[in-house]
A and B are shown apart, each in its own frame.
Chain A
Amino acid sequence: MHHSLKRMWALIGVIAAIAAVAASSAGASHKAGPTIVIWTDTDRAAAVTKVANDWAASNGATIQVVTKNFGDIRDNLGTVSAADAPDVITAAHDWTGQLAANGLVEPIFLSSATKASFPSYTLNAFSYGTAVKKLYGVPVAVENIGLVVNTKLAKVPTTFSQLETEALQVKKAKHQTFGIAVQQGSGGDAYHMYPFFSGLGGYVFGTNKAGNLDPSDIGVANPTLLKNAHLIDKWNKEGLISSKVDSSAAQNAFLKGQAAFWITGPWNADTLKKSGLTFKVIQMPAIAKPSVPFLGVQGFMVTKYATVHGVDSAAKDLVTSFMATPAAQTQLAAANGRPPANVKAKSSDPVLQQFSAASKGGVPMPNIPQMSSVWSDLGQAWVRSTKGSGAMAASKSFKAAARSIAAKIG
């Protein structure tokens, strides 16, 4: 017994020694110069790696790109341990409020020359603060939805009533249940319905005196919208739009020539080009007010971990000086088929240019964290009021949504 116990400890010693050698040789390669860890999504990983390494090569830095699902970048940043945390992240502008309120991202400053090369809304989109408004991200790409018109089936409308007439004519001719293919489904889709919402005078959050979004000023059932809400009931009755249409139904109807109008974004640019249809993308004509879309801006942020890792100034240099340049912007934006944010880096793609033009006057999706209380209720307001027979009167439906949102925000 005694003998075998000795043997056992000897064995454990050998095993541990082998393991220690293996582990130490794995962890031994430390490099001089800062290492910047960037979290990005699959689409952009290659472009980000290339652009960041261009910067790193001239600065003696090392880049480590970690690929994540886009939405996970936001969620994991709150739970990651400091040792594994990124210094720079690819981000959507509407995360700004949440990440800043969590204290996870650092304010950044752009030179006036750099600022001048971005449309002011893109910088606004990345700015947040309840008292002092700060910029938290450098915009890279912009996206917004537009009205895609099948020019074989219908004329490009210049007024909303023209759009309505044309859409209903095609609906009748093709025996369809709806005129404009805009996706909702039972879950609702406040994003794709926003041009209708803004055209009727709706807004999500007002702004306070300091120019910040005010979560207590909810415009989901504001007087202008309620005054125009009877139009929603009319559209529902004549079948111009229907909440039964989900994303695949909308896409199928347009691609098969069953609907002449489709509301979608640049993520479908390739689908459109391959479809063989002749089409044009415009901003939806104004209803009572301009029918502007929600704007989405994507870009890069510097996290609070950059300071912890001692690479804060390097990370800020990469993001504010290098990624903002037209050359970097063109590559980064092209990586997932969006027009670049820098005005000096125009996209050469005609379809993307048309989508860009459709963004005129658009509203960046509110970037305050309270927006997460809005999406489902605003979507459901449309679902209830445009579900065909048995639909709720729009004014009642939007009032209910506004009440519910206010209760949730508290």
Chain B
Amino acid sequence: MSEIAAPTPRAPFKPGLIARAIALFSGLPGMIIKFVLLAILNALAVWAAYVLIDRGKWISLAILVAATLLIDYIYLAPRSWTLPAKFIVPGTVFLLAFQIVPIIYTIEIAFTNYSTGHIISRADAIQAIKVNSLQPPANGRQFEMAPARDADGKLVLILHDDSSGAVYAGTKKGLQPLAKPTVTISPDTGQPTAAKGYTLIKGAELFSLDAQLRALEIPTKGDSAIQAQGVSQAVELQPTLRYDSAKNAFVRISDGTVFRDNGRGSFVSVNGKEELEPGWKTYIGFHNFGKLANDPLYRSPFVKVFVWTFVFAGLVVGLSFAVGLFLAITLDKKGLRFQSFYRSVLVIPWAMPAFLALLIWAGLLNDDFGVVNKILHLHIPWLFDANWARVSVVLVSVWLGVPYFFLVSLGALQSIPAELTEAARVDGGAGWAIFRRVTLPLVLVAVGPLLVASFAFNFNNFNNIYFLTQGGPYTGTSSIAGSTDILISYTYKLAIATGKGQDYALASAVSIVIFFIVATISGAMFYRTKAIRSVQ
């Protein structure tokens, strides 16, 4: 720094439209907008705090209060360090909410048994098993019921036996027969409508007794008891399972079979053949990853799907880029007529909602009724043959991907100084050589990172596969994965269509595996494009 450059005269500062728009907000209007937005944010936070206090979510409440105070401080306190924070905080909040939190949840779920039959907590599951184990005993009675109060105001159930026509007053001590004439029975519903010496409970008061009604058990024979079901029915029920809290196990009363906690969220019989439903959600360590690695049902399609995912993503990105670049070069020619028309037409696939386009393509490619075969006078089984289906998903994905690469290539081409290609031509370079030695490397510098991103996108391009082929056709040898399934659609099928239906935990484990694959590839490729750029 020995030489001090002469100060170059600056061009007079001419603010652009956006700058002027921003400037508009810097005075009083900006202040007002800031306060209004902060007020709304605080109002929302206070409202959320009410909800969280109501539900006893104290950790979330602490985070909410801390975050709100921090944001208020950043935007109101005139400290120098808050200035950059003003710009960083909104983005960070959204990053946390929509990226980091779901990732944490996915990782958490991957180590649980969260799936059909393992949704609720252990305590709830034990309660549900107890309720489910209740069964009407042999010759169990069913009653029309009317809750009432006796002279002392105690809760009594007036019961009318469906089959025998007998009437009773039921308390937790037991059934007490009532004389038939003292109870009025509705001829339509069989419901007791009045009883001498008792006041029937009606309307809102009836429903306020919910917990008491459910708790009231009228003992009959043995361990059977009459229980209210709703407010007008009562049923005699007998437990078939007994919970032994000391041993932490259920015992079947009829044959003494013991169901033990298997440590993976279920009570399982000692011989391992019977399982009580429901189970509960619990942590099971690396079990899901182990299943993926060891269970042939999941492992054998995984390898096949893994390979096809690479082929698919690679082909789609490569072909889309090649076609997009070709079209961009063709249409970049100066003096071409209807240039803007061609360009607009080429962008149509991109402007259309992709899933709509995919559904239309699925119809177009139908081999008996589809337009494609009709026009070509061919009979290609586009969606019904494994290899043709692979061709179809690649072709349609390329069709959807070309406009993007056409646009970015066009941009990249126009940023290449004309002098470079002219110089190459003067040096005697032929068209192809100029393209290969000058144009392509320069385009690649600009488009390289986009190719990597596009690869990562197509690696997880669920829509294209699912709307076109649903992963099919199935060849009959693989049970879960079809011939066009990529990892993400295969994961989806694991999550909804194996075993007892929904295995979110296993699907989360696969997602984590996919994440590491994509992260590794993208990291390596970004590193490479960076290397290319630094060389140039």
Contact = CB atoms under 8 A, between A and B. Distances in A.
Interface of A: 1, 4-5, 8, 11-12, 15-16, 18-20, 22-24, 26-27, 32-34, 58-61, 78, 81, 83, 98, 100-104, 106-113, 129-132, 134, 177, 185-188, 242-246, 248-249, 304, 307, 310-317, 319-321, 369-373, 375-377, 380, 383-384, 387-388, 390, 392, 396-397, 400-401, 403-405, 407-410
A304 B121 CA distance: 13
Interface in B26-53: 35, 38-39, 42-47, 50-51
A390 to B, nearest CB: 7
Given A103-B128, A400-B477, A187 B472 contact: yes
Interface string B148-164: 00000000000000110
A108 B363 CA distance: 46
26 contacts: A8-B73, A15-B39, A19-B39, A19-B45, A22-B43, A33-B207, A60-B203, A60-B207, A101-B116, A103-B119, A109-B142, A112-B162, A113-B189, A130-B275, A132-B132, A186-B384, A186-B389, A187-B470, A246-B363, A310-B210, A320-B230, A321-B230, A377-B474, A380-B474, A400-B477, A408-B479
Nearest to B211: A310
Given A34-B208, A313-B213, 20 more contacts: A23-B43, A83-B54, A101-B116, A102-B117, A103-B119, A103-B124, A111-B144, A112-B162, A113-B189, A132-B240, A186-B473, A243-B384, A245-B369, A248-B363, A249-B366, A304-B120, A307-B214, A372-B496, A372-B498, A404-B478
B124 A392 contact: no
Contacts of A108: 229-230
A384 B476 contact: yes
Given A113-B190, A130-B277, A18 B43 contact: yes
Given A102-B278, A384-B476, A59 B207 contact: yes
A99 to B, nearest CB: 9
A5 B362 CA distance: 63
Interface stretch (B91-99, B396-404, B440-448, B499-507): B499-507
Contacts of A81: 55
A369 B117 contact: yes
A312 B214 contact: yes
B46 A387 contact: no
A372 B497 contact: yes
A248 B118 CA distance: 39
Nearest to B493: A376
10 tightest CB-CB pairs across the interface, nearest first? A103-B278, A316-B230, A60-B204, A404-B479, A19-B43, A400-B476, A103-B128, A372-B501, A369-B500, A19-B46
A396 B204 contact: no
Contacts, number: 264
Contacts of B42: 12, 15-16, 19
Given A15-B39, A20-B46, A130-B275, A109 B229 contact: yes
A129 B208 CA distance: 31
A284 B250 CA distance: 48
B278 A33 contact: no
A244 B367 contact: yes
A2 to B, nearest CB: 12
Interface residues of B, number: 91
Interface stretch (B12-20, B169-177, B231-239, B431-439): B231-239
Contact of B369 (A249, A370, A409): A249
Contacts of B368: 177, 242, 244-245, 249, 388
B125 A313 contact: no
Contacts of A249: 366, 368-369
B473 A313 contact: no
A384 B475 CA distance: 8
B135 interface: yes
B66 to A, nearest CB: 14
B499 A410 contact: yes
Contacts of A377: 474, 479
Nearest to B214: A312
B47 A26 contact: yes
Nearest to B204: A60
A246 B72 contact: no
B77 interface: yes
B332 interface: no
A321 B302 CA distance: 51
A84 B118 CA distance: 20
Given A15-B42, A243-B384, A98 B472 contact: no
A408 B209 contact: no
A375 B476 contact: no
Contacts of A407: 297, 479
A24 to B, nearest CB: 8
Given A103-B124, A407-B297, A408-B480, A373 B119 contact: no
Given A18-B39, A132-B240, A317-B232, A59 B203 contact: yes
B476 A387 contact: no
A384 B474 contact: yes
Contact of B240 (A24, A131, A188): A131
A103 to B, nearest CB: 3
Given A104-B119, A244-B368, A383 B210 contact: no
B135 A132 contact: yes
Nearest to A33: B204
Interface string B459-499: 00000000001101110111110000000000001001111
B451 interface: no
B497 A373 contact: yes
Contacts of B276: 130-131
Contacts of B240: 131-132
A112 B116 CA distance: 32
B76 A313 contact: no
B385 interface: yes
B469 to A, nearest CB: 6
B510 interface: no
Contacts of B206: 59, 313
A196 to B, nearest CB: 19
Chain B CB within 10 A, most for which of A59, A61, A376, A409: A376
B363 A111 contact: no
A350 to B, nearest CB: 31
Interface string B105-147: 0000000000011111000110010011111000000101000
B207 A304 contact: no
Chain A CB within 10 A, most for which of B46, B474, B480: B474
B314 interface: no
A12 B479 contact: no
Contacts of B363: 246, 248
A110 B162 CA distance: 12
B497 A376 contact: yes
Interface in B360-411: 362-363, 366-369, 381, 383-385, 389
A148 to B, nearest CB: 20
Nearest to A248: B363
B313 interface: no
Chain A CB within 10 A, most for which of B39, B69, B190, B389: B39
